[in-house]
Amino acid sequence: MKIAIFGGTGFVGSYIIDELISSGMIPSMLVRQGSKHKLSQAEKCEIVNGDISDISAIKETIQEAEAIIYLIGIIREFPRKGITYENLHFAGARDCMDLAGEMGIKRFILMSANGVKMDGTGYQQTKFIADQYLKNTDLDWTIFRPSLIFGDPHGQVEFCSQLKNDMLSLPIPAPLFFNGFIPQNAGDFSMTPIHVTDVAKCFVRALKNNSSIGKTYELGGQSTFTWKKMIDLIAEAIGKKKWKIPAPAFPIKMAGTVLDRFSWFPISGEQLTMLMEGNTCDGSKAFQDFNIDPVPFSLETLAYLRG
């Protein structure tokens, strides 16, 4: 079974590739020039060199595939480099959907995100528009909307590793963000972290589960953690006792908005907005449908951060 996959060299994509291969499937991947080294099992994949803006490369990638998985996503955009939410979250996905219809490939699985909405950030808007576009096609679609995804990044970008490097490893207190002027609820926004292996299993098992067609699944772990509790757990996992301090969100959002174009700045204004909205959802339906015993968010499963 040949599966076309877009975004396979990223954090989640690398786990989905491994899961596809272990399930006896052949990934057909669109890989940008210079990114092949990110693949741990490149010899077991069919690789097409190109970019998501290249229609001919997309056609070559999906030729004779039985299904398409679209994972491409970015957490920050850099318009001067042509890296935008519009191009990668929506335009690329739309082109893949349109070509799937033209080439007779019915099955399409899309990576969306928890909390997407039309009146949200640029990230949330473009993810939402891609969702709606897919729902209005004649394809046999499934949409997954994960909460925070954690797990060994294998050299990729991953939330907990970023938090460790950008905040917890610095000799300053960890920020407990809050809106307004009174820090009464500082750091109380919550998340339901889900392990990357559970996400990968959902995607791959959905390929052979026809009951998942036409469904949108939220993917969240079984437990909810506040920002404060997550900082404590991650700090303990890396052997630190981390002080925390209330931090007003407004000036940080302003700084993030001004410095967003610089990749060295750790957080954008939009990222902080989404972080403080919280990111919780119930993944029990997906765990039930795909027969998954979810991995907990715990000291043991955060052991990869010690490296």
Residues 40-87: tens digit of each pLDDT: 888 999 999 999 999 999 999 999 999 999 999 998 888 888 889 999
pLDDT at residue 253 in the model: 82
pLDDT at residue 252 in the model: 81
Strands 107-111 and 67-70: parallel
Residue 268 has pLDDT above 90, yes or no: no
Average per-residue pLDDT in the chain?
93
User: Quick one: 143 and 290 in the same domain?
Assistant: yes
pLDDT at residue 17 in the model: 97
User: Quick one: 202 and 260 in the same domain?
Assistant: no
User: Quick one: 215 and 230 in the same domain?
Assistant: no
Residue 172 has pLDDT above 90, yes or no: no
200-240 pLDDT, tens digit each: 999 999 999 999 999 999 999 999 999 999 999 999 999 98
Cα separation, 302 vs 147, in Å, equals 17
Cα separation, 229 vs 185, in Å, equals 13
pLDDT at residue 99 in the model: 98
The domain in which residue 24 lies consists of: 2-150+194-220+280-294
Q: Is residue 114 part of a domain?
A: yes
Per cent of the chain over pLDDT 70 is: 98
Confidence category of residue 37, pLDDT binned at 50, 70, 90? confident
User: Quick one: 173 and 68 in the same domain?
Assistant: no
User: Quick one: 44 and 179 in the same domain?
Assistant: no
pTM: 0.94
User: Quick one: 213 and 266 in the same domain?
Assistant: no
